[in-house]
Chain A
Amino acid sequence: MLFSENILVALAGLRANIMRSLLTMLGIIIGIASVIAIMTVGNSITVMVNETMQGLGANNIQMGINYKPQEEDVSESGMDFGDGYMRAVTDEDLISQDMLDAFQEKYKDKIQYILLEERVANSTVTIGKNSANIQIVGYNKDNIDFMDIDMVDGRKFLARDYADAKNVCMVSDKFVERLYDGDTSKALGTMVDVPINGDYHSYYIVGVYEYVPDQFSFGDANNPTTTFYLPLSTAREETHNQGKGYEWLTLVTTIDTDNDSFSEEVRDYFNMTFYAKNDAFEIQVINMESMMDSMNTMINTIQLALSVIAGISLVVGGIGVMNIMLVSITERTKEIGTRKALGATNGSIRLQFITESVVICVIGGIIGIILGIALGSLAMKVMGYQAAISVSSIVIAVGFSMAIGIFFGYYPANKAAQLNPIDALRYE
């Protein structure tokens, strides 16, 4: 009851001195606004990074061959600078299909998919006056299944397309729009000639999928580079890699697999079973989940560091509030004396002025939050990303401005409370 009265008194005081109140709040406004802006930007980047990595597959494990760490071995000639002695990759070092078959057999209840791909080239297909940009990539069946492509017309690859390395392809609706007037029935079943490294290769169009632009696609929006899907075996023929192993691949695990421990298991399995005798190479495993975690930790650390720097202006703002509270108490000495004559205790005077300081800081904080969100969103918009507002930072900011109000209001309020009633009443 007394508390709500105090808030009303504080608000009346602020209204009577709008310009001074605003200037007093400025430090708090700037401090909170910059912290919130930093939080908003940081949060947006985190969300974006996470979405992107989620897109790459959060429960994915990347594995590939990597140089074995060199034993510290100092020869007579001096230091051994690793790389100088490292030999190039040979076909024997690669992860072979046999290894994968054995691996999959052993861990079949933990592995959902083994994703393999073969990048062939980027190219431009021309029919008459029209052209379409493509990137030619081969995928295995697991990979196509995993990607969950939305078909507009036609079909996906069949088992025999993969097995027999058929010259079949899937193209985007964008590709059909540019080269076949958007008529999928016209495109389906036709042979398309694709220039690859100077030679023309012909593929039979079996499917048309829906192109979804992603945020990383640069260049001409009317003629984006869309994916030209081939069966993995077909692509590997193109790159003369048929029958060879893979330098890297991606594992998609089943839902209830713990990727952290499974990553280690995979690494140990491959290195002990297949790479123990290899003189230069071993298998390295990267768990996307832990990579995402460390990425988030990094962003959070940077964000925190920046916020702390911005927070310093809050301290300056707090000192400003304290200063103006001291001025206000001096101006209102007689009022304090009167209140004491009417029966105000030291405690109620203290509460009155702390409330006033908290009200100043919280209003400043709220203005700061609005300003900060606006600034942060604007920054994200300029960078071309979606702004993600961090709700927790808003709650913290309100709490923090209250704390500043209490902390920097306490000294002036206490000074007011300690005033001798008669000295206060006699004050001119």
Chain B
Amino acid sequence: MSQELMLDLRDIHKSFFIGTPNEFEVLHGLNFTVNKGEFVSIVGQSGSGKSTLMNIIGALDRPTAGEYNLDGVDIEKAKDNELSAIRNKKIGFVFQTYNLIARTTALKNVELPMMYAGVGRGEREERAKHLLEEVGMSDRMMHKPDELSGGQKQRVAIARAMANDPAIILADEPTGALDSATGRLIMDIFHRLHEEQGKTIVLITHSPELSKETQRIITLKDGTITGESTGNWSGLNRKEEA
């Protein structure tokens, strides 16, 4: 049974300071694919190029060389505005540092991607409320980021990532700044999104335990993929572990 591909990266290179004496390559020709509905984790030492790879997957940055296809779209050929639309509709970002917009409420933060997508005010607000409810934040909707704890902020950020019902969620160390109990809570939300809504999820983490919860683990070392292993993922397992 042939699986449909969500991500297809071929011979991806990324260099910085191109054309200067400081030029150096961070990613040395990566090849890998992610199927639709897969929950994959990327692990590796600090500086191995995980975030650099994630930025390329997220259409925030372009590879120096290589081919990248996201859900059937040729990313190297897309124009800036097309990339904006892809980030807006197909991708949901979750950052280690939450990156909520200061001075606006949790609700408005969740509405933001829908606003850029041109969703009408009423529909926007209704969906944002629903999403915040799903992450257990309905009682904090009118709070501003500086009035929320780290775990609460990250839950708002996940609700925001889900705003336009993206095909894939990209999370770069989403639990990196949280204690293990709160991290657990966040991971449970990802599992739920994966199992109940069939979302494709790519997770970067430093924690071996968390990576083992996923279906597949990709190990990066100095800009090269050095290993791929299957995780211990199973819906039932997860609940026993918790």
Contact = CB atoms under 8 A, between A and B. Distances in A.
B191 interface: no
A425 B87 CA distance: 14
B99 interface: yes
A9 B84 contact: no
Interface in B96-116: 99-104, 112-113, 115-116
A342 B55 contact: no
Contacts of B115: 1-2, 5
Contact of B60 (A1, A5, A13, A341): A341
Nearest to A347: B81
B89 interface: yes
A420 B83 CA distance: 12
B199 interface: no
Contacts of A9: 104
Interface string A20-36: 00000000000000000
B84 A345 contact: yes
B239 interface: no
Contacts of A348: 116
Given A1-B121, A340-B84, A345 B116 contact: yes
A348 B118 CA distance: 11
Interface residues of A, number: 25
Interface in B41-96: 55, 58, 60-61, 80-81, 84-85, 87-89, 93, 95
A341 B58 contact: yes
A338 B101 contact: yes
A12 B145 CA distance: 14
Contacts of B117: 343
A422 B87 contact: no
Give the 9 A-B residue pairs with the shortest CB-CB distance, closest first: A343-B88, A338-B99, A343-B116, A345-B84, A422-B61, A342-B113, A422-B60, A421-B60, A343-B87
B45 to A, nearest CB: 19
Interface of A: 1-2, 5, 9, 12-13, 16, 334-335, 337-348, 420-422, 425
Given A1-B120, A1-B121, A12-B104, A344 B99 contact: no
B118 to A, nearest CB: 8
A357 to B, nearest CB: 17
Nearest to A4: B121
Q: Select the residue from B95, B115, B164 with max chain A CB neighbours within 10 A.
A: B115
B129 interface: no
Given A12-B103, A16-B103, A422-B55, A345 B60 contact: no
